[in-house]
Structure 1
C-alpha cells in the first residue's frame, strides 16, 4: 500500500481507490470532459450562425433587391437585424443570469431559426425586413449567451484557449461570409443564404439539449426593460429620419419632423429613466469620463464606415463591374485581410509596448484616406486598383477597432468595467445601423439624380425607365449597347459618392482621437478579444467576466514558462521556472510523483526531471518512495512563490486591486492563482483520487 511504501498511513490517498493513469496526451491536453467539448462545439455552431449572418447577406443583397424590388429599402435588410440584435443583447445577458442560460440559449436558437426560415420565404421587401428583425432578436442571444456559457463550463485557467476558438470563428466568418453568400446566391438561390442556418441550428439545438450541463446559479437583476425599449426606440426614430428623409419624405414633411420630435422626446425620457434605474442599460455617469465619451463616438464612426461600405461595395462589384455574386466575395477579401492583419498587429504592439494612442489616430486617418480612394473608383477601374483601395480601407478599420475596447476598459473603475465594455460595443453597433441607413439614403438620392440626368431626352425601350432601372438593376441588360455605359456610370457615381459623404465623418473621428488621454495601461487590458472588436457585435458581460477573460487570455498568450519566470524573479529565487511550478504543485497536493506528472501534463518529461533534480539538490524536496514531498525550507519557498504568484496576478489589475476591491475580484484572483499550477484533473501521481469532470 502507499502508506507502507512511504511511511504515511491514514492519508487521503489511502481512502481512495487508485486511479488509472490516462494515456499521455489525453487529460494533459484537454483538461475538460468530452461532454464539455461536445457542448463547446455546439456553442461554436451557435456563434457561427449569428456571426455569419452579419456578413453572408452582403453579397446576396443586389440579387435580393432585383428579385423583390425596393432598392431604396436595401439598407433596412441589414439595419433591421443590427438594431434588433443590439437592443436585445442586454436583455439576453441579464435574463440568462436570472433564469438559466441553457434554456435561454435554446430559446435564442429557436427564434433565430424561425426568423431564418421566414426570411427565406419572404415575398417582398417589407416582409424580409420584418423577418430580419426577428432573426436579429435571436442572433443577439446567440452572441451573448454562447460566450457566457463558456465561462460556466470551463475553469478560468482554460478559458483563454476556448475563447481563442470563438475568436477564430469570428475571423473565419469575416472571410467566408461574403464568399458563401455569393456561392449560395449564384448556384442555388439567395433564399439559401437564410435556409442554410436551419440544419446547422437544429444540430446545435440537439447537442445543447442532450450534452450541455451548466451548474445551477441564479443572479437576481433589476432588468431595465423600459430603458432598453426607449434607447432602441430613439435609435429607430433617428435611423428612420436618416433613411427616409429627402427620399421617401421631404426633409420638411410632417412625417420627418414628427419623427425628429418623437426621437427627442424619447431621448429625454431615456435620460430620466436611466438616472433612476437600479441597473441602467447605459449608465449616464460613464459619459463624465472623457475617454469613454470620445471612444463611444469613435466606435460609432468605425461601425458607421465599416458596415456602410460592406453593404454597398458588393452592389458596385456586381452591378457596375458585372462580376458574379461569388466573385464579388473574392474581390472583398483584400478589405477583410487588411482589417484582420492590422487589428492583430496593433493588438500585439499595444500588448508589448503599453502605448496605444497612435492607433486610433492612425486608424481613423487611414480609414478617411481609404474612403477617399473608394470614392475615386469608377466602372473602368482595374482589379489591382480596387484591391489596393479595399486593402487600405480595411487596414484603417483594423488599426482602430481592437484598440477602442482596450481604451475603454483601461479608463473605468472595476465596478463599471462590464457596462463600459458593453457601452462601447453598443455604440459601434448603432453606428453600423446608422452607416447602412445613411449610405442607403445617399445612394438612393444620388442614383435618382444620376439616372434622370443620364437619360433626359433619351428614348428608352418599352418598359424601361429611370425608375425601373433604379428598382431593378437587371434592366441595364435590356438597354441598347450604346446606352449601357451611361447607366453603369450612374450606378458607379452614386455608390462612390457615398464614400465621399462618409469621409468627413471618419475625419471627425481622426480629430477626436487626438483628444484621447493616453493613460498607462493596466496589464489585464493588453489582451484584446476579437469577439469584442467585430464591428457589429455588442457584448454583455459582468466586470468579473471581463477580468477573467483578460487574465486567462494573457496567460495563454505569454505561456506558462514566462509566467513562472516572472513569479520566480519576484520571489527572489534563481530556480528553473519548472522547479517553481513543481514546488507549487507539491504544496497544493502534498506530494508529486514526477514520472506520472509528466504523463498527465503537457510539460515534457525532461523538463519535469530537471526540475525534480534541482529541488532535490537544493533540499527543497525529498523522496519518499517514488514521491517528492516538501522539506521545511521547501515549504517556506513554496509559500513565498505562492505569494509572488498572487501578487503577479494582482499587479496586472493595476488600481482595480485597491484596498476596497470587491469580494468577487479577490475570489477570482485566488481561483486563478490556484489553477496556475495545474487543474485537479491533471493528477500529480498515480495514487491521487480521480476528480469528476
Structure 2
C-alpha cells in the first residue's frame, strides 16, 4: 500500500512539473528567429526611445551664433551665391563692348565657356576638399580665388587675360557654392535646412536673370563694362568682416594633421575628372560655333571626355583602389550632370 502511494506521489509530482513547463512556455514564448538575426537592423527598436532621441537632437543647438549676427552671416554667404550666378551670365550683354575693346572676335565663345570650364570641372574636387578640410578656411580660400579672377577680368589688358580671369573666377565660384551648401548643412537644424537651401536656389535664379541686365547697365553707363566684374570686389569687400570674424567654423576631421588630409585626397582621380569635364565642356560649348559638330576637334573632345569618365568610374569602384572605400555613386552622378545644371 505504501509503495503504491509513493508511486502515485512521484507520478503526480512529475505531472505537475510537465504542466509547469508548459505554462512557462506559454507565458514566455521562445523567439525562434532570435538566433537568425545577424544585424542591428533586425533587432526590434523602441519607437518611444527613438522619438526621445530625435527630440534631444532637435533641441540641441546647432550653432553658437544667433539673432541678428546669424542673419548677417546668412546674408553674407548667400551674397556669394548671387555673385556666382551673376558671373555665369553677366557677359551676355557686354560682349560687343569687349570685342570693340580687344577685337579677337574668334575667341568670343571662350568668354562664357571659360567660366563654365573652371566651375564645373572643379565642383566635385571642392566637394572632396570640404570633406577633408575645415569649412570656413576652405570657403575663404575659394572666395579669394573668385575675387582674384574677378579683378583680373576687370583689369584685363587683352582677351587672353580676360579668358584666364574667367577660368579662375569659375574655379573660385564653384568652391563658394559648395562651401555655402556645406556651411548651411552643419549650422542649421533639420527643420531649418529646407528654407535655407531654398534661399540658395532663389538667389541663384535671381543672379542668373540679373546677370545680363547688370552687365548691360554697366556697359551703357560711364563706369564701363569692366565694372561688371569689379562689382564682385565691392560686395566681397563689404562682407569681408563677416567672413573673417563671424562665420562659424566646422572641421569634419578634428585632430587629423593637415598634411595627412592632403595625402588622403584622391589626386589622380581629381586630375582625371577635371580632364574629363574640361573636354566635355569644350565639346558642348564650341560645337557648332567654333567647329562643326562632326569636326575632328569636337569628336576628339567627346571621345577623351567619355574615356576619362569611364576611367574615373572604374578607378573609384575598383576594390584595389585606395579610394574605393570612399567612393560615392550619388556624388559621382551629381558631378556628371553639374555642367547641365550650370
TM-score between the two structures when normalised by the length of structure 1? 0.35
Q: Counterpart of 1:211?
A: 246
The 10-residue stretch of structure 1 (241-250 or 108-117) with the greater mean CA deviation from structure 2: 241-250
Deviations 1:42-86 (A, max 9, x none): 111222211211122222223223322222322211111112111
CA distance in 2 between counterparts of 1:275 and 1:65 reads 47
Deviations 1:537-586 (A, max 9, x none): xxxxxxxxxxxxxxxxxxxxxxxxxxxxxxxxxxxxxxxxxxxxxxxxxx
Q: Counterpart of 1:104?
A: 138
Q: Counterpart of 2:62?
A: none
Q: Please list, as runs of the form range in 1=range in 2, the aligned pairs for 1:57-96 lying within 5 A after superposition.
A: 57-96=91-130
Gaps of 5+ in 1: 1-30, 284-414, 432-534, 537-693
CA distance in 1 between counterparts of 2:293 and 2:204 reads 40
Q: Counterpart of 1:184?
A: 218
CA distance in 2 between counterparts of 1:216 and 1:237 reads 34
Query: Is contact 1:68-1:124 (8 Å) kept?
Result: yes
Equivalent residues, number: 267
CA distance in 2 between counterparts of 1:89 and 1:167 reads 17
Deviations 1:133-175 (A, max 9, x none): 1111100011111121112222222223333332331232233
Q: Cα–Cα, structure 1 residues 163 and 430, in superposed 2: closer, same or farther, change >3 Å?
A: closer
Deviations 1:352-376 (A, max 9, x none): xxxxxxxxxxxxxxxxxxxxxxxxx
CA distance in 1 between counterparts of 2:164 and 2:337 reads 23
Given candidates 132, 148, 157, the residue that maps to 2:182 is: 148
Q: Counterpart of 1:195?
A: 230
SS of 2:169 mapped into structure 1: helix
State which structure, 1 or 2, has the greater radius of gyration over its C-alpha atoms. 2
CA distance in 2 between counterparts of 1:230 and 1:33 reads 44
RMSD: 3.3
The ranges of structure 1 where at least 4 consecutive aligned residues each deviate by more than 6 angstroms after the TM superposition are 248-253, 255-258
Query: Is contact 1:116-1:131 (8 Å) kept?
Result: yes
Q: Counterpart of 2:43?
A: none
Deviations 1:199-228 (A, max 9, x none): 111223321111122354428885333223
Q: Counterpart of 2:271?
A: 229
Q: Cα–Cα, structure 1 residues 42 and 61, in superposed 2: closer, same or farther, change >3 Å?
A: same
- C-alpha displacement at 1:118, in angstroms? 0.3
Alignment partner of 1:119 is 2:153: yes
Gaps of 5+ in 2: 1-64
Q: Cα–Cα, structure 1 residues 275 and 42, in superposed 2: closer, same or farther, change >3 Å?
A: same
Deviations 1:592-615 (A, max 9, x none): xxxxxxxxxxxxxxxxxxxxxxxx
Query: Is contact 1:83-1:232 (8 Å) kept?
Result: no
Query: Is contact 1:46-1:142 (8 Å) kept?
Result: yes
Query: Is contact 2:117-2:281 (8 Å) kept?
Result: no
Q: Cα–Cα, structure 1 residues 90 and 262, in superposed 2: closer, same or farther, change >3 Å?
A: closer
CA distance in 1 between counterparts of 2:298 and 2:209 reads 38
Q: Cα–Cα, structure 1 residues 100 and 246, in superposed 2: closer, same or farther, change >3 Å?
A: closer
CA distance in 2 between counterparts of 1:68 and 1:137 reads 24
Query: Is contact 1:233-1:266 (8 Å) kept?
Result: yes
SS of 1:98 mapped into structure 2: coil
Alignment partner of 1:430 is 2:339: yes
CA distance in 2 between counterparts of 1:84 and 1:246 reads 20
Q: Cα–Cα, structure 1 residues 214 and 54, in superposed 2: closer, same or farther, change >3 Å?
A: same
TM-score between the two structures when normalised by the length of structure 2? 0.67
Given candidates 44, 64, 71, the residue that maps to 2:78 is: 44
Q: Which has the higher contact order (CA 8 A, sep 6+)?
A: 2
SS of 1:56 mapped into structure 2: helix
Deviations 1:11-62 (A, max 9, x none): xxxxxxxxxxxxxxxxxxxx93333222112111222211211122222223
SS of 2:108 mapped into structure 1: helix
Query: Is contact 1:233-1:263 (8 Å) kept?
Result: yes
Query: Is contact 1:82-1:429 (8 Å) kept?
Result: no
Alignment partner of 1:129 is 2:163: yes
